[in-house]
Structure 1
Amino acid sequence: MTKVEELRKIEFGHSFPRHGLRLLYWFARLVDRDANRALDLDFDPGTEHFGFHLYPNNRLALPDTRGHPDVFYYVVGNVNGPKSYQLPVYVVQDFLNAKTLHSYHRYWGLDFDNGNRDRIIVRVRGTSLEAVYVAAHFYPSNEYDLSHVYEISSGLLSRIGSSGLDEFLSGASSWVRHTPYECKFWCEATSLQCLFYACLCVRYDSVCLLRLINHVIKHFMVLQFMSIYIKGF
């Protein structure tokens, strides 16, 4: 991929609470570009900082590096792992909010089990970054959706890293602030569910908020009418 707009065509990081776009933005800001325009990391991913760990590439979905003992694949993005606390809040917040709701998901009619799917895979030689891919992890196995692995060009990575977060999210997805499913949930759930979910979700925008307020007003008007009707008996 060479353009931000191309990210709109894939599922990576779009539906709540998936975090891929924010993860990609964080990683792009982490990468250094030297005088020769080569990409470098200022840390060794082999130390498992930020939750980086080896990606085995057993099924050879990515270019084979077995003839290059100094080249490795690493993967990052598990926001439920022991090193996830090292990731910035804006990357993990939606998943944490969803995790708060997890024990209630049967009641709410929501399924957040796939919220922790997005990953970034990098190919490195020492700290030199040779390639970057976005991918999806299958929960709860250790397998990856190899039909949806996309390489991110160095130019795109640089453009993402030089932009602001809101600017990038706006270009990468026209609805990243809220998915249609979230708006549907807000508009069709009861007022208590709406208010509870709105308090937990930090990404609501003005359109969804107006829909929420409108729904709550209608809901309480119905309750008020019913209470008056019952009292009439």
Structure 2
Amino acid sequence: MIVGNMMRTLNNLSDLRESRFGQPPPRHGLNLLWWFAHDCVQIDSNSRMIVQCNPTNGAFGFHRFYNKDKLLPKINLPYYEVGNLHNAGSLPDYVTENYTTHSDNSNTDRIIVSFDSRRRRFENVYVTQHSDRTHFDQNRTYCISTDLLKDIKELSRKDFLSGRTNRSEQLSIRMPQSVQHSQTNTCQSWKCRCLILKFAVCFL
């Protein structure tokens, strides 16, 4: 995955929350990203991002992004932008419902993709936000990993917006250090193993 030298890649849901992309409302970036993950891209067995909506035909408000300010790496594939609620196309209501039409944060978030039309797949996916009416914020531009897209696909929109993480992240975040340490010890008896399992489940 081609990423600029200083650009951070968001690899999981915790990274996404920490970045503050799409937060707080009325920003629409999280709803936009959930829509994109569920309706616009499919991850195949080789972690390739197969296109489910063609960005070249203008559907959902997709349009060319020419990278004039060198926000993103220079590559031989075209970039396309989506998320401008002035031209929302057929984006679902849950993405557009908080748009005020005023100069506020309700239309600040965008997704930008690099698109390989021959292979019909996205090579890279980025999220960003406006720093003013015409420019994007270099320091708030992130590459989205395929692992993060997979995590988003596993969640309902309600759970995604409420800040729930996937099962593996819940284990790493919530499990006390004492339990993690106990699991590294060799335990020969079934009784001991069951106690550890029951204790860990309590914190899921």
TM > 0.5 between the two?
Answer: yes
**Which residue of 57, 73, 78 corresponds with 1:63?**
73
Give the gaps of 5 or more residues in structure 1. 103-111, 174-233
* CA deviations over 1:66-85 (Å, ceiling 9, x no partner): xx2xx11111001121xx14
Alignment partner, residue 176 of structure 1: none
Is 1:20 matched with 2:26? no
Equivalent residue, structure 2, for 1:74: 80
- Say what the alpha-carbon RMSD is for the aligned residues: 1.9
Q: For residues 13-72 of structure 1, what are the alpha-carbon distances to aligned partners after superposition, in whole Å with 9 as ceiling and x for unaligned?
A: 11221100010000000211234331111232111110111111123221111xx2xx11
SS in 2 for 1:50: helix
Task: Give the whole-Å Cα distance in 2 for the aligned partners of 1:36 and 1:156.
Answer: 15
Equivalences, count: 153
Residue of structure 2 aligned with 1:45, choices 48, 55, 70: 55
Give SS of 1:80's match. helix
Q: CA deviation at 1:139?
A: 4.2
Distance 2:150 2:91 in 1: 20
- CA apart distance, 1:137: 1.9
Partner-residue secondary structure (3-state), 1:14:
coil
Secondary structure of residue in 2 paired with 1:86: coil
Q: Which residue of 2 aligns with 1:151?
A: 143
Q: What's the TM-score, normalizing by structure 2?
A: 0.69
The alignment-based identity, stated in percent, is: 39
Report the Cα distance in structure 2 between the residues aligned to 1:139 and 1:61, rounded to whole angstroms: 14
Give the partner amino acid of 2:93. Answer: V
Richer in helix (by share): 1
- Distance of 1:170 and 1:137 partners within structure 2: 24
CA 1:152–1:25 in structure 2 vs 1: closer, same or farther (change >3 Å)? same
> Which residue in 1 is equivalent to 2:111?
120
Displacement of 1:172 in angstroms is 6.6
* Alignment partners' CA distance in 2, 1:139 and 1:115: 13
Corresponding position of 1:94: 98
1:163 counterpart = 2:163: no
C-alpha distance in 2 between matches for 1:153 and 1:36: 13
Structure 1 stretches of 4+ moved >4 Å: none
TM-score using structure 1 length: 0.61
How far the C-alpha of 1:124 sits from its partner, in A, is 1.3
Tell me the amino acid that sits aligned with residue 79 of structure 2: Y
**d(CA) in 1 for partners of 2:93, 2:132:** 22
Distance 2:14 2:45 in 1: 28
Deviations 1:115-144 (Å, cap 9, x if unpaired)? 21000011111121111111002443x211
> Partners in 2 of 1:129 and 1:56 — Cα distance?
16
Deviations 1:135-177, CA, capped at 9 Å, x for gaps: 002443x21111210111011111102211111112279xxxx
Segments of structure 2 that go 5 or more residues without pairing to the other structure are: 1-9, 166-204
Q: Separation in 2 of the partners of 1:87 and 1:43?
A: 12
- The letter for the 2-side match of 1:52 is F
Partner of 2:177: none
